[in-house]
Amino acid sequence: MQIYNLSHAFGLFSFVDPLIVRIANFSAGGFQAEYGGRLSSVFDIQTIDEDKNRFRARGTLDLLSSDVLLTGPLFPGGNSSFIAFYRRPLFQNALQKFYSLGLLFDYYDGFAKATLDFSGTGHISAEFLTSSDQVLQSSPLQPDFRWSNNSGAVSGGYIFADQFDMKFSVSSSTYRAEPRLTLSYRLSDLVTLYTNCGIYHQRLMDMNDENLVFTPFDVIAPVPENSTDEEASQYILGCQLEPNNLVSAKIEVYYKDLNHLVAVNLEKVFEWENDYVFGAGKAYGLDASFRYDAGESLYLQAGF
Q: 3-state class of 166 per DSSP?
A: strand
Residues of the chain by 3-state class (helix, strand, coil), percent to 5: 5, 55, 40
Complete edge-to-edge strand list for the sheet that includes strand 66-72: 56-60, 66-72, 80-88, 103-117, 122-137, 145-159, 165-169
Q: What is d(CA 292, CA 246) in angstroms, rounded to the nearest whole number?
A: 5
Reading the chain (304 residues) residue by residue, the pLDDT tens digits are 677 667 776 667 777 777 788 777 777 777 766 676 777 778 778 888 777 888 999 888 877 778 899 999 988 887 889 999 999 887 666 666 655 566 677 888 899 999 988 776 788 889 898 888 887 777 777 777 787 888 888 888 777 655 555 555 554 445 566 777 888 898 888 999 999 888 888 887 777 776 765 666 677 778 888 788 888 899 999 999 999 888 999 999 999 999 888 888 888 888 888 888 888 999 999 989 898 888 767 878 888 8
Q: Please give the model's pTM, rounded to 2 decimal places.
A: 0.68
Q: State phi, psi for 97 to the nearest 5 degrees.
A: -65, -25
Q: What is d(CA 93, CA 107) in angstroms, rounded to the nearest whole number?
A: 12
